[in-house]
Structure 1
Amino acid sequence: MTNTDLNASNSFSTSLIDDALSYVYPAALRTAALLGIADYLATGPLSVAELAHSTNVRAESLYRILRVLATKGVFTENQPGVFAMTPQAEGLSKNSRIKQGVLFFTEHLKWRAVGEIHHAVANGEPSFNKLFGTGFWEYAAANPEDNDAFNRGMAALTELETAIVVDNYIWPETGTIIDLAGGHGGLLLAVLQVSPGLRGVLFDREHVLAEHVLDVPDIAGRWETRDGDFFAEVPSGDVYLIKNILHDWSDDESVRILQNCANAANPGARVLAIDAAIPRGNEHNSGKLLDLIMLAMLTGRERTTDEVAALFVAAGLRVTKTIPVPGTTLTLLEGQA
């Protein structure tokens, strides 16, 4: 082996060690988000001692957190022990939906389940089930605090994507849109606001519907909430909106959801599935990372566009449109019975 080969081998080995250590960074990011560091720095640079006093933590430990974040452009140490805001750090501000997304993806349930992902690979069972003795949805129903955190995180992520999703689809002028497992209804609200001839039904579990955001004047009288289980039956409608739902479920379960939509649909109705679409091949895509969260937490998976289309066909639906959503990993598939 030549010196060049040795240097290349050492370089690759060092890169792998860096990758193995990368799990530490999200912990630092979460800590800064929980402490509200970005809000304290909004008016200008502060010393670690000042930040530690404001957040009631140890200055030395906080410095070690912030210097790691600064290596990724989240805050910057302009002078020794003095940190300032950066454009990247703006996402951790208190009113930022990105901050809620950071907290959503770094909460303890995902952290623990992904840490045991080898169980899912070896046994075909979500590692979450091994750790907690039950499935995620059953756990969430029995643990209100974790369930509320999950719903808040999903609502924040939906809000980040809502405008661009709404703008990249031509909505019908009239009819009823059914938002399946639509959470607090942020996406349905946005659709109804740009389509004054549409009515909407927010379909989800009762405890989720209690936090809906639809009670606003400009869509008054055009919406209702409906408690139910999409594996049993769904309301009749003209557009079925299924965003970030199919990736939670296995292929067979996803086909059941789509079949229930097809069976309940009015003549000519559309079924819209919006999920991350992962590309084949070696390119980086955050959907491939999300897919491992699905492997650890649930029976679902992130899919390629062709794989989602195959679910439509298996459910008796004809794929009529495929629309990549610009600036996101999302793709919208439209189908009709």
Structure 2
Amino acid sequence: MDEKEIRKRKKDELIQKLFNEMGSNEVRIRDIYKKYSFEFSLSPYDVENILGITKTERLRWTKDEKLKVAGYNSFRKYGKTIEYPKYDSFQIYHISKKQLEKWREEHKNEVNKKRKQAINKAKTTRKRNVNIQKQFYEKEWKKILVEWYKVDSKLGVTMELAYWTMWVSRWAKESQLKSLSARTKKKEYDENKANFYQMKNEAIKRLIQSSFSTLSFYKPRNADKTTYIQFCDVHFSLWGIEREFEYVSKWDFYAWHKKEIQKCDSCMVKVVKDYYSLFYVSIQHEELKDYHFSFHIPYPIGQVFLPDKANLPNVVHEEQEGLFRFGRPLVGDEKVIFTIKNTVKHFQAALTKFDLYF
């Protein structure tokens, strides 16, 4: 028997001796418990064993203030101070099985009530979503199509494919953002992202065939990406000297001494040219001033299936605002109207229709 167990037994024996001397004087016993509530308090483990309850029940009833907390103790773990409750023993010993069953029944009824509320809310939401989708596809979408096709049938198929490519691009961005914070569905989001970007690229291959599309090239000031740096002995020593005063990464040192290092035959630097450059596809028509679609494709991806950048005009990058702004996820009711299922279905239909004309 260890020292801690001996102390606990002595404490229990002393308490029992005290209560034996007081006899059955309930008032005196209650006063003692009240005056020394923390000294007589019970640990979470003891409460669960005495009452025959689970940890989940203890935590729930502690939160609901059904179990009285006399105070808190703490311990250190992994460099953190963790607090845990100590329970009022007088209350714990006077909680009957009937009371526990009543609390369990109350919780069960509350769960059923919330479940019914959730079901009713889901039905209301589903009905609302159906109405929103019906309003768009039966009225607004048809009106948009008429507006496009009455100008020119080839313009219509171009605008239609561009429109659904925009929503495909939105879902690609949405999947990318979800993947960054995902814990259980990261693989699914990554697959969705890859599929949507592949769909976008397939659409871009076709859209550049239309006379209503223009393709240009955007090259930022720092378009190249340095992927590998290895300094020679001399530059490594110079880097070490600069680090004596403050932290300097090798990337910063390279940026500060770029010209000298690039001229050095002993230093090794690998650079991907135009890594941050973009192909820019713009689709618009003078009679449809409210519609302007634009898509950007990273140069390393687009160079595989798009024309040589040397044959393309350069463009200054200006990000659009509003519905047709590129590079954002879906917001609000867009997820209701342009579900993945609806987006893929209309995108495939627009792709097939485009192929009939071009």
Provide the TM-score with structure 2 as the length reference.
Answer: 0.20
Structure having the higher Rg: 2
Q: Highest relative contact order (Cα 8 Å, sep 6+), 1 or 2?
A: 2
Taking structure 1 as the reference length, the TM-score comes to 0.21
Report which of the two has the higher share of helix.
Answer: 2
